[in-house]
Amino acid sequence: MSDKIISPFFGRHNHAHCTQEALEQAELSCTDKGLKLTTLRKEVLAIVWQTHKPVGAYDVLEKLRTRGHKPSPPTAYRALDFLVEARLIHRLESLNSYIGCPAPDEHHQGQFLICTQCRGVAEIEDLRIVKAIDATAASIGFNANRQTIEITGLCDACESQT
């Protein structure tokens, strides 16, 4: 068990089903952790899960406004920060955006495969990579407490179109 696919590239399917599953899982996870999943946080989580593609904070703000809310940027960022801290979503630093986490109750240090053409994201965890980085970091006197690796390229669907 050296690696696992946490979230594959998603083809055409019913995103509403995934979003509903994510919301139900988030409710359970937050209850177990003693965290409050407010209505706004649920809406932000649903927005992040809608397409399986990275979503920026201003995209979230715009979608909240179309739903009748008038949030300020700090409100959206606070909701996103909460969801990251609760491990319900991941922040993709290179894209300054967010993606849903399908395994919020599993501690994992993901590697994200980001398609530069369709913006699809797959998440894997290869423990060989995690261990290699930990070992190299330790050899130079550094203790890594979190690893997030973002790898860009083309998914098979986009590669076949080129």
* More reliable by pLDDT, 53 or 3: 53
Contact between 95 and 54 (Cβ < 8 Å): yes
* More reliable by pLDDT, 110 or 129: 129
Q: What is the pLDDT of residues 84-114, one digit of tens each?
A: 999 999 999 999 999 999 888 888 888 999 9
- Number of domains composing the chain: 1
- Mean local confidence (pLDDT), 109-129: 91
- The mean pLDDT of the chain is 90
Instruction: Check which CATH number belongs to the domain holding 148 and give it.
Output: 1.10.10.10
Question: Would you say residue 39 has pLDDT above 70?
Answer: yes
Domain of residue 80 covers: 3-159
C-alpha span between 61 and 67 (Å, rounded): 10
- pTM of the full predicted structure? 0.87
Long-range contacts of 19-25 (CB under 8 A, 24+ apart): 19/46, 19/49, 19/50, 22/46, 22/49, 22/88, 22/100, 22/102, 23/49, 25/104, 25/105
Q: What is the pLDDT of residue 6?
A: 74
Question: Would you say residue 1 has pLDDT above 60?
Answer: no
